[in-house]
Structure 1
Amino acid sequence: MTTTLEVSGLRKQFAIGRPAIDGVSFVVPAGEIVVLLGPSGCGKTTTLRCVAGLEHPTSGEISIAGRVVSSPRRGILVPPRLRELGMVFQSYAVWPHMTVRQNVVYPLKHRRIARGEAKRKVDEVLELVGLSEYAERSVVALSGGQMQRVALARSIVYRPKLLLLDEPLSNLDAKLRLRLRDDLRVILKQTGMTALYVTHDQAEAVVLGDRIGVMRDGKLLQIGTPDQIYNRPADLFVANFTGATNELPGTLIQCNGEFGVVDFGNGRRAEAALLHPLAAGEKVRIALRPENIAIGQGNGQGNGRGNGQGNGANSFTARVVEARYQGTQTVYDIELFGRRLEVLELGTAARHQVGVDTPICLPREACWAYRDSGPSSYD
């Protein structure tokens, strides 16, 4: 059975300092996977622990399947064991003296399920997570990835209303992490389970989430589909944290609907996308992903000093100051407008030499203008 999770105005204040969670609201519809993404200390795990009942919110409400399980204002606080949740933690938390089957069947022993039905459920979930042939093996004989599959199987065997996952892949090595990351979404979708997943890994969030919520300093800055988060970030922090690590400061001098013209000084201008309302004359920062800068391409009219807008393109000339060959791609540092930008070019050959000027193009759709509030919000 799937269910809906509703979090409204959630706040958690510890003894000192700023709130760990500050007015967070979101809904996870039945059968959806929502990922809370953000750096350490942003409040994502505290939010998950409040949903689980392991932390007591200062204010706000949490509802599971339409039932309020936490509301300090109304004096409601349902214990974790009565919230019908499943949880998967960073640590595998398996019982080392038991076999795989014994670990997975354990939650069913306390739910008055007949032995035959329990065996059927365990066999079904072990097949789902790919551990059928390991059913009678001791868990200490398994790899880390297999032990985490045991933990997942144990959490879903009784079909909880809601599954909570707190960075469950962080203790795995890189290869296992990638494999289980891809498998995990398939497993969750096959069960149809509603899930709230916490991670600091952007790639993990994109692969797993139907929607992603980006958090910082206890606040939920933006929640949307992976495509929305990556291609229309709500602010400079969201853009930076999800990979738009290049920044160019300038002044917005003209607005043309969804686009505007930004002056970078000395007459150097480019078009940029306006993702939120801005007025001519405002100081802005342009956020730009390394993979969205086209190196070696231009319309031949940009020289790094003009407006670079011939034929509607932001074309300039930049100097390559460093190249890092990585096999299937090369990462360049280029100098443009007196600033260093990072450029990623796919391919097994490095095509541009250090110390040489090369044409570049900054697609206006990939140049996101945000109001300049001082130092980078990612710093």
Structure 2
Amino acid sequence: MDDPRGSRATRPAIDMRRISKRFQRVSGSTTVAIDEVSLSVAPGELVAVVGPSGCGKTTLLRCLAGLERPDEGEIHIDGKAVFDSARRKFTPPERREIGMMFQSYALWPHMTVAQNVGYPLRCRGVSGRQTAARVSAILATVGLAGLENEPPNRLSGGQQQRVALARSLVAEPSVVLFDEPLSNVDARVREELRLELVQIHTKLGFSGLYVTHDQEDAMEVCDRLVVLKGGRIEQIGTPAEVYRAPRTTYVAEFVGMVNRVGVSAAAYEGSSVLLTSDLGRLVAAEQPATDAADPATDTTTGAASGSADGELTALIRPEHVRLAAGQAPPEGAANSWPGTVAFSLFRGSWMQYLVRIGDVELSVLSADHSLRPGTAVVVSVAPEHVMVRSAR
């Protein structure tokens, strides 16, 4: 009997509970790919799972799709149990009624575009007339109208990716899974496809899980981010929450660029932290974050109050560092030091600078294009932009 958990409007579209998956190596050792992961996706929500290679994100997606069988846990899609280890229930992939877009297009070269896109409908026994109408409509949605009779190998990489997207959506599934969908196209096409995917998601309203190692893809396309580390969830939150208030150093370094500054001592003064750092005296406007909250349920992501045990580090985003040509900082200014531009890199509307402050090097993103290597600068960071985290 399927899990009765309320109306379709309120129940999660995807509900994964304490999912674990282990793999046996040829050597006889066991690798834990997924370690008791619980994750829910609301109706109409697109959630990205991010992390480096080997963190378990693809295994998690394959478990949801039915391409891998978890060792423990439960999986519900639209309120229906498709996996339950306690009840020994396992629904095969073809009966889960989901769409899936693979990293490697996975298009059949002997079929036309229309035949590739219409394949899921034929498997469901949809009539030829209905299939043709729905294929035509979805190809227009993804910008491929007029290419119905072309073989896939005559299309560009971006067009092939659109064919794969159309095929994953043509059966109008309520849940769509994306496995590194934009990794095989160049940067310009990737930007176009990101925007199109957001527009299509807004128009069609499907729920989805989007696995990628590309933080830009995840932050631009999805409603929430799930950061994995070693098969476990490190943090869940909106892209803005995860970027602006990472719970750990690992999250901060994976989601965007960040400068790490070593800290040898910390003293607390009201709501601020006075740090003895590699930059000298450093003031932070927040207390060190702790790992007390459960990342699977905590979406507040703000730094916790109180002290943190062990070694600390200060984290500063490159765009929060300010540079001004000059020899010395204003007397008494907090978080202000003399430095020298060591390197510059043109990045369109931004310049990326590497600035040396004694033995410390800071990466800086600035709209000021006038600074040259060797220029003396005053470097400053507002206390509210200094994050204090465990160095681990």
- After TM superposition, the score normalised by the length of structure 1 is 0.89
Residue of structure 1 equivalent to 2:23: 14
SS of match in other structure, 1:238: helix
Q: How far is 1:357 from its partner?
A: 2.8
CA distance 1:158–1:281, shift in 2 (3 Å) = closer
**Aligned 8 A contact 1:302 1:316 in 2:** no
SS of match in other structure, 2:164: helix
SS of match in other structure, 1:213: strand
Q: How do 1:1-379 residues align onto structure 2 when only pairs under 5 Å count?
A: 4-15=13-24, 16-250=29-263, 251-257=265-271, 259-264=272-277, 268-274=281-287, 275-279=303-307, 283-296=311-324, 301=329, 308-309=333-334, 314-336=335-357, 338-347=359-368, 349=369, 351-373=370-392
What is the alpha-carbon distance in structure 2 between the residues aligned to residue 227 and residue 25 of structure 1? 22
What is the alpha-carbon distance in structure 2 between the residues aligned to residue 330 and residue 340 of structure 1? 16
Q: How far is 1:236 from its partner?
A: 0.6
**Aligned 8 A contact 2:325 2:376 in 1:** no
What is the alpha-carbon distance in structure 2 between the residues aligned to residue 291 and residue 233 of structure 1? 16
What is the alpha-carbon distance in structure 1 between the residues aligned to residue 188 and residue 391 of structure 2? 40
CA distance 1:107–1:333, shift in 2 (3 Å) = same
SS of match in other structure, 1:19: strand
Q: How far is 1:70 from its partner?
A: 1.2
> Deviation digits for residues 188-228 of structure 1, max 9, x if unmatched?
22111111010001110011101011111111111111110
> Deviation digits for residues 162-181 of structure 1, max 9, x if unmatched?
11110011111222112112
How many residue pairs get aligned? The number is 363
What is the alpha-carbon distance in structure 1 between the residues aligned to residue 113 and residue 285 of structure 2? 55
CA distance 1:190–1:340, shift in 2 (3 Å) = same
What is the alpha-carbon distance in structure 1 between the residues aligned to residue 325 and residue 205 of structure 2? 46
CA distance 1:191–1:280, shift in 2 (3 Å) = closer
**Aligned 8 A contact 1:318 1:334 in 2:** yes
Which letter maps to 2:199? V
CA distance 1:17–1:362, shift in 2 (3 Å) = farther
What is the alpha-carbon distance in structure 2 between the residues aligned to residue 64 and residue 84 of structure 1? 9
CA distance 1:17–1:337, shift in 2 (3 Å) = farther
CA distance 1:280–1:145, shift in 2 (3 Å) = closer
CA distance 1:317–1:281, shift in 2 (3 Å) = farther
Which letter maps to 2:351? T
% identical equivalent positions: 38
SS of match in other structure, 1:261: strand
Which letter maps to 1:228? E
What is the alpha-carbon distance in structure 1 between the residues aligned to residue 121 and residue 308 of structure 2? 64
> Deviation digits for residues 27-85 of structure 1, max 9, x if unmatched?
10011100001111110000000000111111111111111111212211111111111
What is the alpha-carbon distance in structure 1 between the residues aligned to residue 129 and residue 278 of structure 2? 76
CA distance 1:266–1:363, shift in 2 (3 Å) = closer
Which letter maps to 1:369? V
CA distance 1:353–1:154, shift in 2 (3 Å) = closer
**Aligned 8 A contact 2:34 2:56 in 1:** yes
What is the alpha-carbon distance in structure 2 between the residues aligned to residue 337 and residue 18 of structure 1? 44
CA distance 1:236–1:297, shift in 2 (3 Å) = farther
Q: How far is 1:88 from its partner?
A: 0.7
Which letter maps to 1:292? H
CA distance 1:127–1:333, shift in 2 (3 Å) = same
Which letter maps to 1:155? S
CA distance 1:282–1:357, shift in 2 (3 Å) = farther
**Aligned 8 A contact 1:334 1:343 in 2:** yes
What is the alpha-carbon distance in structure 2 between the residues aligned to residue 5 and residue 126 of structure 1? 27
**Aligned 8 A contact 1:104 1:154 in 2:** yes
Q: How far is 1:328 from its partner?
A: 3.4
**Aligned 8 A contact 1:100 1:150 in 2:** yes
CA distance 1:326–1:188, shift in 2 (3 Å) = closer
CA distance 1:78–1:289, shift in 2 (3 Å) = same
CA RMSD of aligned residues (A): 2.3
CA distance 1:6–1:255, shift in 2 (3 Å) = farther
Q: How far is 1:322 from its partner?
A: 2.3
Gaps of 5+ in 2: 1-7, 288-302
Q: How far is 1:302 from its partner?
A: 5.1
